[in-house]
Structure 1
């Protein structure tokens, strides 16, 4: 998934907390958020508005990314201590570091490959099937099939050499 496709997808699925998202969708959208934050930070009101606009799509894609690794989206609650950092003036560096520690598992999970088979959150997002479809009866066949077992049609697989 490309950068622009990811942004479009995340805004279209802004409230989808049930399915799965690929690593590329998640990380491209994370990059988009960083860029938006860098651009809007100098103007406080604009930064607040952009943060409000991005919060729901961000949480949704984070949950879908966790779903891709067969984990609950509720694990994102580990991010809440970071909010505490930003709301507390004068918090020490050591306390800031300690509060960020719970986020490390999230980052590791977001980096991991998703399950290649269906899990409780649905089908994989970027798994490429090696199966082919019979053009006559639309039955799914192994990529090595030469004939359809259902209708007997000869299979011409363009993936074969």
Structure 2
């Protein structure tokens, strides 16, 4: 999945917490968020706040769908609240997708 497709997909499924998201879809979306947040922070604090607000729900839903893709529950996203323990989420997010269907659906089409 390329950059633009990933961003469009994540915004199209902004409140869809079911299903699965590929590794490339998730990481391209995270990259888009970081780039826009960085640019927004240089422009003005209100622009930065607006970028964070716009990306909040889509980022959470993409994270939940990414965890579903590796066969984990989306509730594991909450361990990101715990300092240092939340680093385990990075390990989960870089894991390859399950090739077969799991309890969260069929593998997404890349």
Tell me, yes or no, whether TM beats 0.5. yes
Shift of 1:102: 1.3
SS of the residue 1:45 aligns to: helix
Map residues 91-110 of structure 1 onto 2, 5 A cutoff: 99=83, 101-110=84-93
2:62 match: 61
Shift of 1:125: 1.5
- Aligned partners of 1:2 and 1:62: how far apart in 2? 18
2:97 is aligned with 1:114: yes
Structure 2 unaligned spans of 5+: none
- Aligned partners of 1:110 and 1:39: how far apart in 2? 25
Which structure has the higher relative contact order (CA within 8 Å, separation 6+)? 2
1:24 match: 24
- Pairs aligned (count): 109
1:96 match: none
RMSD of Structure 2 on Structure 1 (CA):
1.2
TM-score (norm 1): 0.65
Shift of 1:126: 4.4
Of the two, which has the highest radius of gyration? 1
- Aligned partners of 2:91 and 2:66: how far apart in 1? 11
- Aligned partners of 1:26 and 1:20: how far apart in 2? 10
